Structure 1
Amino acid sequence: MRLVAVSAGLSSPSSTRLLADRLAESVRDELAVRGSDVTAEVVELRALAGDIANHLVTGFPAPRLAAAIGAVTGADGLVVVTPVFTASYSGLFKSFFDVIDPNALAGKPVLAAATGGTARHSLVLEHAVRPLFAYLRAVVVPTAVYAASADWGAGGDEHTDGLTARIRRAGGELAALMADRPAQVDPADDVTALEQYLADLRFD
């Protein structure tokens, strides 16, 4: 199984990348409990910013960007994390998903997350990020994870789970969807199967 985390953090290190790593770890742990092997990869959009901009105006992805797009579209599950910019996802985050074929994420399990300086922006996940992936016909898990600066190391209260508990719950939801999803078929296998089918139809 393949898990890909997309981080749109702009600094290095960044809280966005840290959240992506923790969510990916939670998904891996949950899948391990279920007896599933998973490989995890992180796509750092910061390193691809120039390639993304060039692709938007030329229509041709550079090799590094093409590899990142292939990793995302070929994954069995995605963790996507954006910093909050002007009460929405970042332009870099949106631009990356703009260069992906609109049909490529249909049915793919996605865990959506965001980081910001204050809890006031937490609804960005519901009014911006979730609708984006609903439009792409991805399957977004119920628990979206928002991490404000004050959430790191906090344990929550009687009304709200702490960040660690939310990460664990969201990771479990994505792992469940990935484990129940039918295995993806390599297009090359389809070609081989078709050739065999046609061969079987031939008569001597």
Structure 2
Amino acid sequence: MTTIKTLAVVTAGTSDPSTTTMLASQAAGRVAVLAAEQGVEIQTRMIDLRALANDITSALVAQHISPDLQNAIDVLRDADAVIASTPVYKAGASGLFTAFFQVLDNDLLIGTPVLLAATAGSDRHALVIDDQLRGLFAYLRTITVPTSLFASPDDWNGSDLSKRVDRAATELVVLVVAGFRSTVRDDAWGAYQHSYGSAGGSELGIDLDTELMRMATGGR
């Protein structure tokens, strides 16, 4: 029996065609192939941040979540793994990319395996993933695979990029097949610190059945 898993691919590419989206799609395709070899069918859901630019801005400024943005958030919420790909400008990830992840509920991606990818016009930006993106996704309490993907114009002509894609995809598939996300959320969800009003759910509720609360409410 084939197991079905969902892969969310988030791309902040702004051109059409976009090398940022191409890199993410290449990785997603390899994940699907490797997962199939393990008896797992990957259903890929694309999240194009360029189409959500106005919605993301409104969410940051006015705390208004549009239906389209909510749909994207729901895709992430239900995903078994994520590929997150951004262009790099002036030694920093795209503002659109970081803004999207900043509007997410802090609990949304707990335990989710993530493959990080970035593209730029120069190798000078190669450290942006490790220097900036890993910190962002650590804050969101995801698990990022050890191999990240970075591509500048020269990388598309060689075989090294394909080897890195294969390695990163393998790492992501191992976590997906092992059920890392569901195990963490099922067995350790209550051990995480949850913000009031977040997706922490019942873990944030007040336990009225303690001796102190019974005394406070006039009970015995």
TM-score by length of 1: 0.85
Question: How is 1:65-80 mapped onto 2 (pairs within 5 angstroms)?
Answer: 65-80=69-84
8 Å CA contact 2:20–2:86 kept in 1: the answer is yes
Q: 2:168 aligns with which of 167, 170, 193?
A: 170
Following the alignment from structure 1 to structure 2, what is the Cα–Cα distance between the partners of residues 54 and 133? Answer: 22
Q: Tell me, yes or no, if structure 1 residue 21 matches structure 2 residue 25.
A: yes
Query: How far off is 1:153 after superposition?
Result: 2.1
User: Cα RMSD over matched residues?
Assistant: 1.5
Q: 2:135 aligns with which of 128, 131, 137?
A: 131
Q: 1:107 aligns with which of 111, 131, 135?
A: 111
Which letter maps to 1:89?
Answer: A
* Per-residue Cα deviation, 1:75-101 (whole angstroms, up to 9, x for no partner): 000000000012011100000001110
* Per-residue Cα deviation, 1:14-36 (whole angstroms, up to 9, x for no partner): 10010010010011111001011
Question: How is 1:62-101 mapped onto 2 (pairs within 5 angstroms)?
Answer: 62-101=66-105
Query: How far off is 1:60 after superposition?
Result: 2.1
Which letter maps to 2:46?
Answer: V
Q: Name the structure 1 match of 2:40.
A: 36
Which letter maps to 1:100?
Answer: L
Q: Name the structure 1 match of 2:121.
A: 117
Query: How far off is 1:74 after superposition?
Result: 1.2
Identity rate of aligned residues, in percent? 41
- Report the secondary structure of 2:163's partner residue: helix
8 Å CA contact 2:117–2:149 kept in 1: the answer is yes
Q: Name the structure 2 match of 1:158.
A: none
Following the alignment from structure 1 to structure 2, what is the Cα–Cα distance between the partners of residues 120 and 58? Answer: 36
Which letter maps to 1:8?
Answer: A
TM-score by length of 2: 0.79
Give the number of equivalent residue pairs: 180
8 Å CA contact 2:12–2:48 kept in 1: the answer is yes
Following the alignment from structure 1 to structure 2, what is the Cα–Cα distance between the partners of residues 154 and 17? Answer: 18
- Report the secondary structure of 1:152's partner residue: helix
Q: Name the structure 2 match of 1:11.
A: 15
In structure 1, runs of 5+ residues without a counterpart are 156-161, 186-204
- Report the secondary structure of 1:23's partner residue: helix
Runs of at least 4 residues off by over 2 Å: 182-185
In structure 2, runs of 5+ residues without a counterpart are 186-220
- Report the secondary structure of 2:40's partner residue: coil
- Report the secondary structure of 2:111's partner residue: coil
Q: Name the structure 2 match of 1:152.
A: 156
Following the alignment from structure 1 to structure 2, what is the Cα–Cα distance between the partners of residues 150 and 182? Answer: 35
- Report the secondary structure of 1:105's partner residue: coil
Following the alignment from structure 1 to structure 2, what is the Cα–Cα distance between the partners of residues 114 and 105? Answer: 20
Following the alignment from structure 2 to structure 1, what is the Cα–Cα distance between the partners of residues 116 and 181? Answer: 22
